[in-house]
Amino acid sequence: MKPVRIGLIGTGNVGSGALEILALNGSELEAKLGFPLEIAAVSSRNILTKSVSNIPAGARVTADWREVAGAADIDIVCELIGGTTTAREIIECALKAGKPVITANKELMALAGPELQAEATGKATIHMEASVAGGVPIHAVLREGIAGDSAQAFFGILNGTSNYILTEIEAKSSAFDDVLGEAQRLGYAEADPTADVEGYDARSKLALLAQMAFGQRVAPGSIYCEGIRRITPFDFQYAHTLGHTIRLVCAARRTPAGLALSVRPTLIPKSTILASVLGAYNAVWVRGAAGQDTFYYGRGAGALPTGVAVVSDIMRAARDLRSGASARVSPFSFQKLAEPDLASIDDFVCGYYLRFRVKDSTGIIATLGRILAENGISIDAVLQLPTDDKANLPFVITVEPAREADVRKALLEMEALDFIVEKPLALPLERGV
Ligand SMILES: NC(=O)c1ccc[n+]([C@@H]2O[C@H](COP(=O)([O-])OP(=O)(O)OC[C@H]3O[C@@H](n4cnc5c(N)ncnc54)[C@H](OP(=O)(O)O)[C@@H]3O)[C@@H](O)[C@H]2O)c1
């Protein structure tokens, strides 16, 4: 049977993983599909001067992506280079030529995926399973697996680097900078870790999943985002005292005020399944109106897990081409995305964990309690674990559910107090996630 011909651009982690899987599983994939897949062309910037494994004999090898993306002998184009400039040109070129595109590019898809899909010619579609949570097939779940339900909320751990750092701080009581340095040494964190530790990478993924779960056009920049740099071993000690742990949680909920979306370190109960997600693993917990809770877990990155997502997308696109049923399911799950209806972070309501560092003196709790009361916030508990450093004493106040805007106003007043050593840290304290 005639093969479906693949053009693959980008031979780094993800591209080489996809090539390896296609080489390893070729005959099994053919048995599943009923026709073979053929790597007909491979491209990357420096491909002519470096060695890339698993390129089949006879495949065209070129440093010019244009010889792949629009070429007449290519049926499906894989964009696996990342970034938002050349990657965008590649995807536009392929879609305009009527070719389905496979991509792992969460940044570009979150910024411009719907426009790119709208520009596509004929029935060419984008497939982007690898863009969120690497080897966890969450797109397939939202687009088809639980499409019959109406998603009400989901909670994700979508950045393996920050989850690795948090769980190492938790396990070893090490400081953030030490754990980050170790993660960089081991290759778990980039030399510039900003996108991971500030939450921007997770935010792009949350924007993509929110589009698929709720059918609204969500720009990453409209999502409240806070990174993990301020989390200390003390915070884990206090969280444990409360029966909780801390994870960088991507949260999405339908609320009467609109979609409430955020990426932020959050205290979650130790008993919840999300709390058991350790190291570089990812997970998504989806709550449907009818089917209720479902949970998806796996490796969030890495050549082979992400390569599986790419190859599975290739198979999906190849089946669509062969059956003449391309664009059967929208890449964004909904045929048309509605304008966003987002709740303001000011109106989020939840319990909070407030961590202070103070110069020890009398009347501290009374002063903080007065400010909280003046802002309509009720104290739930005051916690102070033993420590010797009276000039930089950490302690925690947990508060009953309150409006985020009221909590921020109270914290701003507190920052100015002379016994406060460092800006107080406020983290949502989830009771039921
Ligand atoms: N790494 C992961 O585990 C993972 C997981 C999920 C999603 N992703 C996404 O997958 C994509 C690729 O990531 P990666 O980790 O595989 O990246 P990578 O290891 O840095 O590899 C990038 C590849 O793209 C090529 N390339 C870069 N710019 C190019 C250009 N202008 N023209 C032609 N080729 C170019 C590079 O070519 P040369 O090597 O020849 O210079 C290299 O082969 C990104 O969108 C990333 O966000 C990665």
Measured in whole angstroms, the distance separating CA 252 from the mean position of its chain's CA atoms is 12
- Among 288, 323, 358, the domain-final residue is 323
205 assigned to active site:
yes
CATH number reported for the structural domain that contains residue 389 in this entry? 3.30.70.260
Residue 308 sits in the same domain as residue 295 = no
Residue 279 sits in the same domain as residue 354 = no
Instruction: Examine residue 335 and state whether it is found in any structural domain, yes or no.
Output: no
Q: Which of 15, 93, 108 is nearest to 54 (CA)?
A: 15
> Which DSSP state fits 92?
H
Q: Are 29 and 8 in contact, with CB atoms under 8 Å apart?
A: no
Pocket test for ligand 1, best of 16, 21, 45, 86 (most atoms within 8 A of CB): 45
Cα of 176 to ligand 1 centre, how many Å?
A: 28
Run means of pLDDT, 10 residues per run, the chain, 433 residues: 96 97 98 98 97 97 98 98 98 96 97 92 90 96 98 98 97 97 91 97 98 97 98 97 98 96 98 96 98 97 96 97 91 95 96 96 96 98 90 96 98 97 97 77
C-alpha 168/C-alpha 180 separation (Å) is 9
Residue 74 sits in the same domain as residue 164 = no
Q: Catalytic pick from 2, 106, 205, 409?
A: 205
Structure tokens at 107: 């940044």
Instruction: Examine residue 140 and state whether it is found in any structural domain, yes or no.
Output: no
Instruction: Examine residue 333 and state whether it is found in any structural domain, yes or no.
Output: no
Question: Which atom of ligand 1 lies at the shortest distance from residue 86's CA?
Answer: 31
CB-defined site of ligand 1, < 6 Å: 10-15, 44-47, 65, 80-82, 86, 104-106, 130-131, 134, 301-302, 306
pLDDT, position 386: 86
DSSP 3-state of 153: strand
HSE (CB half, 13 Å, CA atoms) of 94?
31
Cα of 15 to ligand 1 centre, how many Å?
A: 7
Residue tagged 């000039």 (tokens): 391
Instruction: Examine residue 330 and state whether it is found in any structural domain, yes or no.
Output: no
Cα of 104 to ligand 1 centre, how many Å?
A: 9
Range of the domain at 380: 347-429
DSSP 3-state of 126: strand
Residue 205 sits in the same domain as residue 264 = yes
Question: Which atom of ligand 1 lies at the shortest distance from residue 305's CA?
Answer: 3
Q: Which of 7, 12, 14 is nearest to 90 (CA)?
A: 7
Distances (CA, A) of 366 to 67, 363, 411, 418, 423: 71, 5, 15, 14, 18
Terminal CA-CA length for the chain: 50
Pocket test for ligand 1, best of 62, 80, 139 (most atoms within 8 A of CB): 80
Structure tokens at 233: 């071993």
Cα of 150 to ligand 1 centre, how many Å?
A: 35
133 burial level (CB within 10 Å; 0-12, 13-18, 19+): buried
C-alpha 179/C-alpha 307 separation (Å) is 28
Residue 257 sits in the same domain as residue 173 = yes
C-alpha 273/C-alpha 293 separation (Å) is 11
Residue 226 sits in the same domain as residue 312 = no
Instruction: Examine residue 80 and state whether it is found in any structural domain, yes or no.
Output: yes
Cα of 175 to ligand 1 centre, how many Å?
A: 31
Q: How many helices (H) and strands (E) does the chain have?
A: 13, 16
Question: Which atom of ligand 1 lies at the shortest distance from residue 14's CA?
Answer: 16
DSSP 3-state of 207: helix
Pocket test for ligand 1, best of 44, 54, 136, 282 (most atoms within 8 A of CB): 44
The number of distinct structural domains making up the chain is 3
pLDDT, position 122: 77
Buried b / exposed e over 386-417, threshold 16 CB at 10 Å, is eeeeeeebbbbbbbeebbbebbebbbebbeee
Residue 14 sits in the same domain as residue 109 = yes
Cα of 52 to ligand 1 centre, how many Å?
A: 13
Residue 166 sits in the same domain as residue 221 = yes
Residue 27 sits in the same domain as residue 77 = yes
Tell me the torsion sign for CA atoms 181, 183, 185, 189. Answer: negative
Instruction: Report phi then psi at 378, rounded to 5.
Output: -100, 135
Structure tokens at 129: 């399973």
Instruction: Examine residue 149 and state whether it is found in any structural domain, yes or no.
Output: yes
Q: Are 118 and 133 in contact, with CB atoms under 8 Å apart?
A: no
Question: How would you classify the pairing of strands 349-358 and 292-299?
Answer: unpaired
Residue 160 sits in the same domain as residue 290 = yes
Residue 193 sits in the same domain as residue 284 = yes
Could you tell me which residues come within 8 angstroms of residue 273 by beta carbon, excluding any fewer than 6 positions away? 283, 285, 295
Question: Which atom of ligand 1 lies at the shortest distance from residue 47's CA?
Answer: 40
Which residue's CA lies nearest to atom 19 of ligand 1?
12
Question: Which atom of ligand 1 lies at the shortest distance from residue 46's CA?
Answer: 40
**pTM for this one?**
0.96
CATH number reported for the structural domain that contains residue 162 in this entry? 3.30.360.10
HSE (CB half, 13 Å, CA atoms) of 401?
7
Q: Which of 170, 430, 429, 403 is nearest to 285 (CA)?
A: 430
Instruction: Examine residue 395 and state whether it is found in any structural domain, yes or no.
Output: yes
HSE (CB half, 13 Å, CA atoms) of 271?
5
CATH number reported for the structural domain that contains residue 91 in this entry? 3.40.50.720
Residue 34 sits in the same domain as residue 83 = yes
Q: Are 102 and 127 in contact, with CB atoms under 8 Å apart?
A: yes
Identity of the residue numbered 221 = G
pLDDT, position 388: 82
Instruction: Examine residue 226 and state whether it is found in any structural domain, yes or no.
Output: yes
